[in-house]
Structure formats: C-alpha cells, structure tokens
Structure 1
Amino acid sequence: MPMRRLRIFCLLFALALTTFGCSDSKTPEVSEKTTEVPPQESIPPDHSPRSPSETDWFEDVTSQTGINATYHSGQDAKLYTILETVGGGVAMLDYDQDGDMDLFFPGGGEIHKNPAKVTGKPSRLYRNKGDWKFSDVTEEMGLDQSVDYSHGCAVSDFNRDGWPDLFLTCYGQSRLYQNQKGQSFSDVTETVGLAFSSWSTAVTWADVNRDGWPDLYVAGYVKWELDPNEICEAGEKNIRDVCPPQKYPAARDRLFLNRQGQRFEEVTDQAQLSTEGKGLGVLAADFNHDGWLDLYVANDGVANQMYLGGADFPLREVGEASGTAFNEFGAPEGSMGLDYADFNGDGRGDLFVTNFEMEDNSLYRHIEGYAFVHS
C-alpha cells in the first residue's frame, strides 16, 4: 500500500495532537516518470459501519448532536505533501463554566498550486447544551478566523482568572486564545510573547518550574516548505507518493515559562532541548516521583525524548537511559500518540506510545526511578 494511504490511515489524530508520520529509513529514489495515486476521498463502500450491537461499549451519535466539524488536509491539490498527512486534534473544555464540556476542533487548511502557498481554515467551537446536543458558537466567540494551517490544541487557564484558554499549534504561527469570561476569545499571541513561526504539532501545558503558573511546551515537526515540483515515490516503482520525514531536517521544540500570566519567556536554549526531534506527541508527568514535572516527546522516526525536571536548567534528557527512546530492538519508530497511566496497578505510571503502520505500539512499564522496560 502506498505511503500516502498508510499515513492517512494511521494519522487520524486523537490528540495530540496530537498527533503522525512514518519511519522509513531512506528517502526513496525518484525516477523520471511517476504515476499519481488518486487521493482517497472517502471510506470505500465496503467499509461502512456494521449495525449496533448490545455488547458495544460506545454508540456513534454524531448525527444527533449538531456537530458538523470537518478537518481539511489540503489533499485536494494533489501535491502529495507531507503536511496533509499529519491531521488535527480536538480539545474538551468548559469555556462558559456552565458545568458541561464543550468541544474545540482545529480546522487544518488548504494547499494551493498556483501560486504555491499554504493557508489555514477556521477552527470550530461547539457549546454543549446538555443531553448530547451542541451548537456552533465559533463566530460569536470570535474564533471564525483563518489562521495558519492548524493541527493540535491544548487547554489551560494560563492567566489564572478562572476561565480556560486555548493554544492552537500550526504550520506557521501558532496561536494563544484568551477566554474573555466565556463571552469571547481574544488572540493574545503577540501580546504575551508567543509570536514565532515554525511547524508545530503537539503541545502541553505544565508548571515545570513549580511557581504556580502553567508553562508551555510546543513540539516541532520538520523544516518543510511547499514545492509543487517535489516528487517522491512509494514502494511500487514509478508511483508518486508523500516524501517521508527523513527527507527533512527537524524543527526544534520550544519551551516557554509563564511569567505570572502576563507574558511568556522562551527558555529553549537554557533548557537545552534537543534539536533532533520530530515531535508528534508530548505529555508532562512526574516520572521519577521527585516532585518536579518531567516531559516526554514522541518523535517520528528518530529517538523519543524524556526530560527530567528540576529546580534549575538545563533539563536532563534521559530518553535512552530510561529505556523509552526506542523499541525493544533498540530502533526508533514513527511515534505519534501517547498516554501515561498505571496499567498494572503497582503504583507507578507507565507509558503507552502509538507508532506508525507495520510497527508495534510500545508499552513501557515503569520499574523504578525513571527506568522503564519495553513490555
């Protein structure tokens, strides 16, 4: 199966946003003649859902809820870009503090041939009215704007005013939306010092310096620019497909300290974050139980990273030493989604990482300290 379809199948994002990617070790050679694979516009008829059963745990009630959000990948341009394979996430938040969880969906974007450019599509915000009914409040909440091509999102009350705020990762300029007491959202990205341009995918909020204010870790993917003439091949000879992430250099992760809800200070260099990651997932937890939040980054085709927190910078990167950088054979995989929970009830949290097609997902069982074993 061509890489394009494998990636689209695997990268239907739950996430992350998390969430993404493949781990081919080489960039395929390109012949002079290629055949385009038509994009898979929809699920084939023979993959229609089966009828509900009494033993089902979940029932699909989307059509009854009023939710009609579509993530736009840009594949209609038929340029086979790596951008269109990454996908978008979703956030749950009670933005109006009425006790019901509302839903936020990044919009993705469009890829244009002539002139060659990437543009964003508006995200969608749905207010929970109760009894599984939602209403689209995107416009009235000030979120009906076409920002850059968006991916992941994360919720936190960054200024501690009692109202949850939103951070949206993008290819280009990511955005911070401040909740104005449930009446609207304001783009405060530049005001608080978060104006930077990169391909950002996953994001997490975490109080890494224990000052009581949530800090921001943003995972970067790769350094890529749209080139309509860029061509790579799939495994089959002369079949055009998406170029793998190994073709591009990594986009650096970034860490910002929250200065009492007024501004953010970038401390990426002081923290000595790796420049080699191609992040598609990130989470924060106290892995070694020392009272300081640590960070774990799932990377696409290169070693995953674990950063131990502490009173001072730099952060200590122990991915390989912890046993969580690679699979059981010591090789990196196309890591994407991740979660942290005590699956075996021994009082220690364990890591679960989802990987690309034809790769096993990874369960890292916590032994002691920051030591894990691939199980």
Structure 2
Amino acid sequence: PAGAGSRSAAVADFNGDGVADLATGNAYADSVSVLLGNGDGTFRLPQTFAAGRVPWSVVAADFNGDGAPDLALANAGSFNDPANTVSVLLGNGDGTFQAPQSYVAGTRPQCVVAADFNRDGILDLATANSGGAAVLLGNGDGTFQAMRSFSAGSSPSAIAAADFTGDGVPDLAVANYGGFG
C-alpha cells in the first residue's frame, strides 16, 4: 500500500539508479509516498513525505534543473476549507525530498501538469481548479511566480498540456465536471 487515499501517481527515477519509481498523492494523509522500484516490477516499502492539504494530483519533473526529478501536488483541501495551493517538493536525487513549498493556485486545485508554457526553457505548472485554470511560471530554481488565472468552463477537474495547434507552444485542455444531473 502506498498511502491513505492515493488519488494519483507519477513515475520517474527518483534515486538515479535507472529503475522507474512511483509517487502517489495521498489525499487522506496530506502526504506523498515514494515507492522506489526494484527493477523486477516490485517496489520497496513507501517513504512518505509531507505535502499540502488533501493532495489530489501529482506530477514529477525537474523544476530546478539539477537533473533530479521533483514533485508538484495540487492540494484541493476539504469542501469547507479549501487548500488553494500547489506544493513543490524538490528531489535530492537519492529518493528523498526537501520540505514542501506552497504556491497559491486557485480555488480547490484538482489536477496539476508541468510544461514550458512561455518557451523560456523552464518548466511551469498549470492547475485545473473550481474557478478555472491557473498557470504558475517557473523561475528555474524550483520556485514559481504568482499564478495567472484563466477561464476554463464549468467546474474544471482535470488538465492536460500538449501542442494541440502545431505552433510549438504547449496548449491546455481542461475537462469540466459540470456538476450532477
């Protein structure tokens, strides 16, 4: 078992041994678990690191350019007390992570993706949240600028980044939950 309420997973080589490892966002434990791969399809026992409140989505990428994968988690919080943040945990390259740094990312962010949205060679973050979408431009050292908000339909719940228009710039696609009925 990875962690209580695992809602999403990301794959990267967190300890630099050439074997795929797994990270899970644990919504019921306010944490992220890292399971280092053994190379035979099995994993070691999870190491757990603090994250934000109710991490709903996790993405792995190198946000500070040191060659080690880092983690970003969309922290939805609870319905009565939303977290409104993304937590970034910088990887140490040995399967461990530094303490999380939090950035405001809109109301109840549900999903997070990483891409270079402004083509400066630095990874950025985007979230789908109950108020739309938010983009946080990366500074290249593992920190991020204040969010920029965008309208994204009714109740965005998932977000994906790809070059949908063929112009070489990542675009965003947002899935909208839209409520019941």
TM-score with structure 1 setting the length: 0.43
For the 8 Å contact 1:174–1:197, the answer to whether it is kept is no
Please name the residue that 2:161 is paired with. 340
Shift of 1:150: 2.1
AA of the residue aligned to 1:288: N
2:7 is aligned with 1:148: no
Cα distance per residue 1:319-360 (max 9 Å; x no partner): 23xxxx214xxxx741112222222222222111111227xx
For the 8 Å contact 2:125–2:136, the answer to whether it is kept is yes
For the 8 Å contact 1:297–1:304, the answer to whether it is kept is yes
Q: Which stretches of structure 1, 4 residues or more, deviate above 3 A after TM superposition?
A: 195-198, 311-314
Please name the residue that 2:137 is paired with. 308
**1:309, 1:196 → 2: CA distance?**
19
2:18 is aligned with 1:162: yes
Matches within 5 A, 1:179-218: 179-182=37-40, 184-190=42-48, 194-196=49-51, 198-218=53-73
For the 8 Å contact 2:25–2:33, the answer to whether it is kept is yes
**1:291, 1:146 → 2: CA distance?**
33
Matches within 5 A, 1:234-253: 245=79, 248-251=80-83, 252-253=85-86
CA RMSD of aligned residues (A): 2.4
User: Aligned in 2, Cα 1:267/1:201: closer, same or farther, shift over 3 Å?
Assistant: closer
For the 8 Å contact 1:219–1:254, the answer to whether it is kept is yes
TM-score with structure 2 setting the length: 0.84
Which residue of 283, 306, 326 maps to 2:151?
326
Please name the residue that 2:88 is paired with. 255
For the 8 Å contact 1:305–1:317, the answer to whether it is kept is no
Which residue of 107, 122, 130 maps to 1:277?
107
Count of residue pairs brought into register by the alignment: 176
Structure 1: which 5+ residue stretches go unaligned?
1-144, 224-244, 359-375
Shift of 1:206: 1.1
For the 8 Å contact 2:34–2:95, the answer to whether it is kept is no
For the 8 Å contact 2:54–2:75, the answer to whether it is kept is yes
Larger RCO (CA under 8 A, 6+ residues apart) = 1
**1:198, 1:296 → 2: CA distance?**
18
Cα distance per residue 1:82-109 (max 9 Å; x no partner): xxxxxxxxxxxxxxxxxxxxxxxxxxxx
**2:25, 2:5 → 1: CA distance?**
9
**2:116, 2:39 → 1: CA distance?**
31
Please name the residue that 1:19 is paired with. none
AA of the residue aligned to 1:177: L
Matches within 5 A, 1:71-110: none
AA of the residue aligned to 2:82: A
**1:290, 1:146 → 2: CA distance?**
36
Shift of 1:312: 4.3
Shift of 1:262: 4.4
Matched-pair identity in %: 30
Q: Indicate the structure with greater strand content.
A: 2
Structure 2: which 5+ residue stretches go unaligned?
none
For the 8 Å contact 2:105–2:147, the answer to whether it is kept is no
AA of the residue aligned to 1:260: G
Larger Rg: 1
For the 8 Å contact 2:154–2:178, the answer to whether it is kept is no
